A and B are shown apart, each in its own frame.
Chain A
Amino acid sequence: MGEKMLRASQTRPKTSSERMSGNVMKKCDTFVEKKAIAAAKSSAKSTAAKSASLKEKKEKSTIRKAALERRRSLLETLRDFSSRSGKPEKTAPLQQLEKGGRLVEQSKYVTTLEPSEPAVEPRGKQNGHHLPAGYGDNRIVIQVRDPLWLHAYWELTAGKFDALHLEFGALLNGARRLLRVYDITGIFFDGTNAHGYFDVEINPEANSWYLHVGNPGRSYCVDIGLLLTNGRFITLARSNFVTTPLAGPSWITDEEWMIVEEDFNRLYGLSVGFGVGLSSADIKRQISKRLKQQLSSGALSSPGASAGVQRGKPEHERKFWLVVNTELIVYGATEPDAQLTVQGRPVRLNKDGTFSLRFSLPDGEQVIPVKAVSADKVDERVITPIVTRRTE
């Protein structure tokens, strides 16, 4: 701690000539330094504040560096998926609801090429800094994002395609790659008994997809496969089964705890915090409105918002701006064992008898008597700088 204070107090490096030798008061050098701290900031596009001081530039570049670092790292991550394929990155138009930042968009459009090598094995090949592009599986996994959307990711190996090639040969030419989405609600799905299905044609380079199923409270299974030119569908991998949640109240009531429709609507309105007397159409609207509100950890106190380089500023205020503050540094030196006061307040001297005080300097006049009294109380010196700040 002491070391830090010392470091902080030595705002100006001392030269040996400043160390005066003398009897009573070696030196009381009041150095007045007005510091204009102008912080200038402008939007990323504008040619950033030319007048900004060196310091600010340094600070700015730290921020910019961090942002670049962030971008680089994200892109690196994304590249991880395609790096092993050796083919150029291609984009797949993933269906997305969300408008994200540019990075997010980028990340949506960068996907793995396939078929991919099982990158983890053999062990010697494993690079300590990259995740494998694949695990040597033929598999597709689906997850529920919300009542209307699923997410699917998959991996198919070269071996799978080699085998297909042997079996189907030229038939594979011109085959389209599909995701076949089966509605398997309430049944034990055996591959043939789905209530229905729909196909989504996918880019052969894609390795994940958002699927709009559009039906809450239904169960789904997804095949990834090839549709041959003769109309035959070959399943390459079949997913797990999932069920989308309901987007509104269940139509099922139980006898023992039955509640009449009207009362339920009233209660529903109360439960979602919009009062009583809603029609069922209102209710639907209200709950979807409610779900779009930020009422949880996403809203405010994420750890990410609490530290680091990004400061939340209201968007509309991210225009050109300027802040100027002034500070005053009063520093000097005396006998190390002397008693020193500044404006009547005692000040602790550094071991070598130096001192340095920093003041935030408001407009107006500051009278700053600096008084040193020798250890034996015999000698006394007072020097009184007077500083005026006036802002125009």
Chain B
Amino acid sequence: MEKGYLCLVLHGHLPYVRHPEHEDFLEEDWLYEAITETYIPLAATFESLIRDSIDFRMTMGMSPTLISMLLDPLLQSRYQQHIELLIELAEKEVQRTCWQPEFNRLARMYLDKFKFARWFFVDKYQKNLVTAFKNVQDAGKLEIITCGATHGYFPLMEVCKASVRAQVRTAVDQYKRVFGRQPNGIWLPECGYNPHDDEILLENGIRFFFVDTHGVLHGTPRPKYGVFAPVFCKSGVACFARDVESSKQVWSAEEGYPGDFWYRDFYRDIGFDLDFEYIKPYIHKDGIRINTGIKYYRITGRTNDKQPYVPEMAREKAAEHAGNFMFNRQKQAEYLFDVLQKKPIIVSPYDAELFGHWWYEGPEWINFLLRKIACDQNVIKTITPSEYLLKFPRNQVITPSMSSWGWKGYSEYWLEGSNDWVYRHLHKASERMSELVRYFPDAQGLPRRALNQALRELLLAQSSDWAFIMKTGTHVPYAVQRTKDHILRFTKLYMQVKDNAIDEPWLSGIESTDNIFPDIDYRFHA
């Protein structure tokens, strides 16, 4: 009999980036890279586990923006072009490196992987990767949870809760359409919890969410089981808190697995390393060097003198690290079981894009880990939050503390000198949206289209990603531009609707560029 449970959570999210007006758009690469390096390898890993009858449970957040992009025909066909181009580059690399076997084998590895990605994406799933994950959910192994519609950061929406409601409703609405069922759980964007937001979750049929460690530890009253059992908010919505120890093993820049010297180095990419004329067709059209995804070196050490990547060694390491992770969770569960006199649940959430994109061997690590847990021991079991709550329906009632999983644990990353200017605009737009909903309780025809579009623009402006990017310092002009664009479009719509002067051709234009959530209902913002 098991002594405890492991709840692995991957949070998959990218902001909505789609620019039909440009043939080649730098920031769209975020999606293409993640498809090749993260989403396809993860889906393929889950499939292989099912094929081999491995019993596993995994929880995965798929943000509505990510789902929208994965379902968008334009982005789908652009990804196909992208992977075709990568295959072409990999073929050239196989030729170019033929006098250097240590690189040549890597070029071949990439060629194989890219061809597999094309097959998986185009042939197996007809460009619809959401189906791949839905299948794993339908097989009972994966619990897919939703997220804020555009990843708006809820703690900084305290003065406009209607927007929190719109974020949640839009997300749940999309989830039902895409997955054919009600979502049980939500990943609060950036793990940002603000007391009473759970009431909005409850309205929308959500049964659980996650917070960072201190969200529960500093909750009121004190949590009897620390972070090793979920708690119920007064609303009855359950709250699971992150376990630090398991997080650290994967996340930490110093102590984490991904920093192992045998793993692939993220930064050395041929997009930057090779002769400009040669690589030009495969980087940005304006000649801006970008990551291609072909990287030949391993981390090696704290040096710039990188050694060639050796996939076999990296694979060995991934297996070793999976074993180590499992061993530590076993010890942790045994110990906690003694202390608590109750089977603990260890919640380990990670950004999905960490696996494969940043930590190239990450999907392999998950593969090893789930196989080992299923076959090599019986101290811990993987579990989904829904299953846990069915097994253990009685939990302590606590009001979790406001918290996030961002730097320093609260809102500072999204509220500081580089980005604090956005909130006066976001809050005003939200206030105006509520005003529109009050004035037009049941709009039809053109005004309805304009109102729906107004809500799309507002939601897009609210993505926490823009503030995040302003803070990190890369792609800042883009994030600033996106914030401005959506706010300005919203404002224009607000004026036009109020004055009953809707510019239909212009509306049609932005409906086709900002085309997220085709079934949105502006009254979600209530």
Interface residues of A (CB under 8 A from B): 1, 4-5, 7-8, 11, 35, 37, 55, 58-59, 62, 66, 69-70, 72-74, 77-78, 81, 94, 96, 98, 100-101, 103-105, 107-108, 120, 123, 126, 128-132, 135, 137, 141, 143-147, 149, 151, 153, 155, 208, 240, 242-243, 245-250, 252-254, 256-259, 263-264, 266-268, 270-273, 287, 290-314, 317, 321, 325, 327, 343, 345, 357-362, 366
Q: Which residue of B lies closest to A283 (CB)?
A: B217
Write out the residue numbers on chain B whose beta carbons fall within 8 Å of the beta carbon of A55.
Answer: 275-277
Q: Which residue of B lies closest to A72 (CB)?
A: B477
Does any Cβ of A come within 8 Å of B15's Cβ?
yes
Q: Determine the interface band of chain B, counting residues with CB < 8 A from chain A.
A: 35 or more
Give the 5 A-B residue pairs with the shortest CB-CB distance, closest first.
Answer: A273-B244, A73-B477, A304-B474, A146-B410, A108-B417
Beyond A131-B484, A301-B358, 18 additional contacts (C-beta under 8 Å) are A37-B274, A74-B477, A107-B417, A107-B418, A141-B159, A149-B412, A243-B402, A245-B402, A246-B218, A247-B218, A250-B219, A271-B226, A273-B243, A294-B407, A295-B244, A301-B354, A301-B357, A303-B465
Is A308 a contact partner of B26 (Cβ separation < 8 A)?
A: yes
Q: Give CA–CA (A271, B84) in the complex, Å.
A: 47
Is A145 a contact partner of B411 (Cβ separation < 8 A)?
A: yes
Is A294 a contact partner of B251 (Cβ separation < 8 A)?
A: yes
Q: Could you tell me the distance in whole angstroms from the C-beta of B9 to the nearest C-beta in chain A? A: 12
Q: Could you tell me the distance in whole angstroms from the C-beta of B193 to the nearest C-beta in chain A? A: 10
Give the residue among B277, B418, B477 with the most A Cβ atoms within 10 A. Answer: B418
Is A252 a contact partner of B221 (Cβ separation < 8 A)?
A: yes
- Interface residue from A69, A94, A272, A311 paired with B417 (Cβ < 8 Å): A94
Known contacts A77-B421, A141-B423, A358-B96, A306 near B416 by CB under 8 Å? no
Is A249 a contact partner of B417 (Cβ separation < 8 A)?
A: no
11 contacts between A and B (CB under 8 A): A8-B281, A105-B417, A144-B158, A144-B410, A147-B410, A270-B335, A273-B245, A295-B247, A296-B191, A296-B405, A298-B468
Write out the residue numbers on chain B whose beta carbons fall within 8 Å of the beta carbon of A312.
Answer: 266-267
Does any Cβ of A come within 8 Å of B190's Cβ?
yes
Is A245 a contact partner of B287 (Cβ separation < 8 A)?
A: no
Is A266 a contact partner of B416 (Cβ separation < 8 A)?
A: no
Q: Could you tell me the distance in whole angstroms from the C-beta of A44 to the nearest C-beta in chain B? A: 14
Is B88 a contact partner of A141 (Cβ separation < 8 A)?
A: no
Known contacts A297-B190, A297-B351, A271 near B217 by CB under 8 Å? yes
Q: Give CA–CA (A299, B407) in the complex, Å.
A: 8
- Interface residue from B15, B212, B425, B474 paired with A310 (Cβ < 8 Å): B474
Does any Cβ of A come within 8 Å of B339's Cβ?
yes
Q: Give CA–CA (A37, B29) in the complex, Å.
A: 27
Write out the residue numbers on chain B whose beta carbons fall within 8 Å of the beta carbon of A66.
Answer: 288
Is B417 a contact partner of A308 (Cβ separation < 8 A)?
A: no
B297-330 interface bits toward A, Cβ cutoff 8 Å, 1 = contact, 0 = none: 0000010100000000000000000000000000
